[in-house]
Amino acid sequence: MTKRKAEKQQSAAPLSAFAARKARQQQAQNVTATKVEAPVEPVAEPPSKRPRTSPEGEEQSNANVTESPSRNTRSKTQQVSSPLATTTGQPKKATRSQVAETQPQESNEKEETQLESLENDASEGPDEMNEDEVASVVGDADGYESPAETPAELQNFPLSKARLYKNNIVYADDNTLCIRIKEKMNLALMGQYDLWVKRGVVSLMGAKLHPSQRVYRVYAPSTHSLPIIKCVSGVDGEAEVEIKSCNSGLARLRDLSPLYQKIWNGENTTADKLTLKGAFKDSRRSFSVLYTSSDDHLNRHLRPLHLDKKWSASMRALSQRQGRLRVLVCGPKASGKSTFSRYLLNHVLSPAPETENGFINTDGVAFLDLDPGQPEFGPMGQVSLAHLRSPFFGPPFTHSSLHNSRDGKILRSHFIGATSPKEDPDHYALATMDLLEQYQTLLAHHPQCPLIVNYPGWIFGQGLEVATWLVKYLGLSDVVYMSEKGPTEVVEPLAFAANEARVPMTILPSQPTDFVSRSSAQLRSMQIQSYFHASHSTSITNPLWSDMPLSRTRPIGVNYDGHKQGILGIMALGSQINPIMLRQILEGAIVGVVAIESRTAITGSSDSSNGAASSGVEDGTDSNADEMDMDSEEPDVQTSSPFSIDASIVRTPEGLPYLFTGSGSCTPLSPKASNCLGLALVRSVDATSKKIELSTPIPSSRIRESIEQGHELVLVRGQIDNPNWAISEEYYSARAAERRYQQSCIRAKKSGESTDEQAQREQTLALLRDRTRRASQVPWMTVVEDNSKLQRESAARREKSLWKLRKKAYPGSESETDW
């Protein structure tokens, strides 16, 4: 994607020390000789695989989250380390240095100052409060992402071509905005909204939307480039669309993690104030119209999501394949593979009533996601095949699950247990082959279903071998490589394989965005946190999110021993561990819930016993809770085989069934006879009742259906990121509740209330403070108060920092060693 003309006209930051010196020399020629030029600051070299830790970053190792100081509040540093502690056991005291909070009598002037501070903190959205600043995590596993200061010149960037006036506003209120957009004009919005096309044709994220009764949910956070609503054609040269506020609950996740703060619309912009005339004084929608990035009161790094001309031409050519489309999208990391795949998916799924060639897509689109690090329709650590029937407008964390979704479903997925395929290339290749066979089964019922393959940035070594194998034997119609800069060591083998398979190969430019507000590790945390807090219902079209911490939700109790044993065994991918340590590595970990369709999924086991074990899964830890007890006979274990199940399972001192097969390292389950149902968080292991407490968004109906089909369940512990976000959820939730109540207390005191009411409010506030104190004393988390000048300056730098993506794709670079 090339930069827009307006962006080229602005002065951008130098990309190298040579470019910096050249730019400053040109600047020096235009100034007087008496003016002293500022010294040139050298641009930091690309970091190594693990970047060096800065002085302020040394305090934040182990995924530390630092809160920036605000007015009348002290700065607190929350240190989170792994592994995650159980959230249901008795917490241990953590070392902390905390000053007791006091409530002195405040003057009216101080009350007004504090009220103004709290109101400024609540400037992010309709009901949002900015509790913390997002800390830049130093030492990201991706290696070549590093914090970089935002150039001041980048803040004023054009976003919309169209402007709102009275003559193109059809109607507007505090919840809805109906406007007319002229042809070839566009409009940028930030936030969450429902879009209804009433007249004309508009384009949005690759999809062409025609007039219909369908309403589309759009998510436009600041973490990604903003989607643009563009008028393609219309009646009398104009298209008419209705934009309506929505409340999905996703914005409330800001109370659980700082990563979700300051990503939605803030205060009303100039366009919002124009359309809100006549509404209530404090009316605010869940979206805002932005003309330029300077309209954003939070001064964030905002960019429009525009297609490069070569991208658009390639999508039009690929869509001509119709049901014969089989395209592999590959390229280096941070080259725009996911963005191109999402655009192409929406373009093929555009619900056009008529097309130029008369083709209407009624079979949907198959999306083969082979990127376990940043998947599109699921949590990290797995590869999947999805069958989709409707466009998706939003980043991956807005559709991290397709359970009970009307727009599509996951046909089959496999738990890789890592964010990179290089951890076990053989298992990754077997999983890919099985998903391809599943696609062939899909074609039997939907013969005109295209296929889009999203390949990860693993393009060197064995990754290149897997990619060339896919090109040769997948029966592709096209190969798209997302980088015009090579390297030749990758492009030539791919081109040779495509030539042998007689498949055309298209090379497109990579995306130009160099600065992002979230690193890859942070986006993974946001996506998996969204996955665990999302819920789908058959009665509603769009998902809903809950802001209740996982520690306050009711867990699922699974019997791991006895006659009602609900799981067959527990696997730990990687090197063999001592069975005594299984409980320690299991508690607080993310595990894959894998259904074994046949005993052949376990290496060397016999397939003659294919029955399901008795299920002992029940909701909650209460003995009176309803159990999901499926009547089934105990499987007959083949003792004649030297690789029987009993020989592979070792009981730990707690009675946990440790399932290990292989020599030295654990052999993963065979993809041909297994299917990953989803992920679960292990809350605790109760050795007394022989139960494992799990938190999982997997619908109970899907687990029940799998058991009824005779499948057995295995919990697989992988090597994905530790869920540090789950440790601090209760703490951030308690602080959010405390600050909201403080705001209501100050307003009530200002408006005048009785002494009894004030006393009751003080008691409630004391209880909320006690909850915050107890939440800060959980294991593996320390809250340290520091209001020093160094800490305040460090927080101010973090507030302005962005992540610079250093794209390297040549042998010996980080992209080869860390894909």
Beta bridge pairs of residue 172: 177
The burial of 24, by beta-carbon neighbours within 10 Å (0-12 exposed, 13-18 middle, 19 or more buried), is given as middle
Give residue 628's pLDDT: 36
Q: What is the pLDDT of residue 803?
A: 56
User: Within a 13 Å sphere around the CA of 574, how many CA atoms are in the beta-carbon half?
Assistant: 13
Is residue 798 over pLDDT 70? Answer: no
Average pLDDT over residues 766-793: 76
- Which of 717, 737, 755 lies at the terminal end of a domain, its last residue? 717
Domain match, 348 and 494 both: yes
Residue 633 reports pLDDT greater than 50: no
End-to-end CA distance of the chain: 22
| Helix boundaries (H) for 166-320 | 270-275, 309-319
Domain co-membership, 379 together with 514: yes
**Could you give the C-alpha distances from 799 to 69, 126, 149, 767, in angstroms and in order?**
11, 22, 10, 31
Say what the pLDDT of residue 489 is. Answer: 87
Q: pTM higher than 0.85 for the full model?
A: no
Same domain, 695 and 753: no
Q: Within this chain, do residues 324 and 197 fall inside the same structural domain, yes or no?
A: no
Same domain for 395 and 473, yes or no, is yes
Given 662, 690, 717, the domain boundary residue is 717
Tens of pLDDT, residues 442-486: 999 888 899 999 998 888 888 888 889 888 888 889 999 988 887
Q: Calculate mean pLDDT across residues 385-392.
A: 92
C-alpha Rg value of the chain to the nearest Å = 28
Residue range of the domain that includes 418: 311-531
For residue 588, what are its two tokens? Answer: 């607080």
Q: Is 216 exposed, middle or buried (0-12, 13-18, 19+ CB in 10 A)?
A: buried
Q: Are residues 462 and 376 in the same domain?
A: yes
Which CATH number belongs to the domain containing residue 429 in this structure?
3.40.50.300
The length of the chain, given as a count of residues: 819
The per-residue pLDDT for 301 is 83
Cα distance between residue 247 and residue 193, in whole Å: 8
Same domain for 35 and 66?
Answer: no
Provide mean pLDDT across the span 18-33.
52
The pLDDT value given to residue 336 = 84
Q: Count of domains in the chain?
A: 5
Residue 273: give its domain's CATH number: 2.60.120.1030
Specify whether the CB–CB gap between 85 and 778 falls below 8 A. Answer: yes
Is 181 found in the same domain as 231?
A: yes
The residue type found at 757 is E
Q: Are residues 586 and 656 in the same domain?
A: yes
360 and 484 both lie in a single domain:
yes
Residues 443, 398 share a domain: yes
Task: Write out pLDDT tens, residues 218-246.
Answer: 999 998 889 999 999 888 889 999 999 99
User: Is pLDDT at 54 greater than 50 in this prediction?
Assistant: no
User: What band does 521 get if pLDDT is binned at 50, 70 and 90?
Assistant: confident
Distance between CA atoms of residues 458 and 478, nearest Å: 19
Whether 133 is covered by a domain: the verdict is no
Domain assignment present for residue 504? The answer is yes
Tokens for 371, please give them.
Answer: 């990127």
With bands split at pLDDT 50, 70 and 90, how would you rate the model's confidence at 605?
A: very low
pLDDT given for residue 675 in this prediction: 93
Query: Is 514 part of a structural domain of the chain?
Result: yes
> What pLDDT was estimated at residue 518?
84
Q: What pLDDT does residue 331 have?
A: 87
- Specify the long-range contacts of residues 425-432, CB closer than 8 Å, at least 24 apart: 425/462, 425/463, 425/466, 427/668, 427/671, 428/372, 428/383, 428/466, 429/466, 429/469, 430/670, 430/671, 430/672, 431/383, 431/671, 432/370, 432/383, 432/466, 432/470
Residue 362 has pLDDT above 70, yes or no: yes
Residue 805 inside a domain? The answer is yes
Whether the pLDDT of residue 698 is over 70: the answer is yes
- Asked if residue 564 and residue 516 are part of one domain, the reply reads no
- Residue at 251 is within a domain: yes
Average pLDDT, the chain: 75
Q: What is the pLDDT of residue 359?
A: 53
Q: What is the average pLDDT across 364-386?
A: 91
Report the Cα 724 to chain-centroid distance in Å: 15
Which uninterrupted H or E stretch holds 328?
strand 326-330
Asked if 404 and 700 touch (Cβ cutoff 8 Å), the reply is no
Distance CA(631)–CA(690), nearest Å, equals 20
Model confidence at 408, in pLDDT bands (50, 70, 90)? confident
pLDDT tens track for 643-685: 466 677 889 999 999 988 877 788 899 999 999 999 999 999 9
Is 425 a domain residue? yes
Can you say how many angstroms the Cα of residue 82 is from the centroid of all Cα atoms in its chain? 20
Question: Greater confidence, 22 or 439?
Answer: 439
The 3-state secondary structure of 138-190, one letter per residue: CCCCCCCEEEEECCHHHHCCECCCCCCCHHHEEEECCCEEEEEEECCCEEEEE
Residue 536 placed within a domain? no
Of 801 and 767, more confident: 767
Instruction: Give the model's pLDDT for residue 382.
Output: 92
Q: Is residue 604 part of a domain?
A: yes
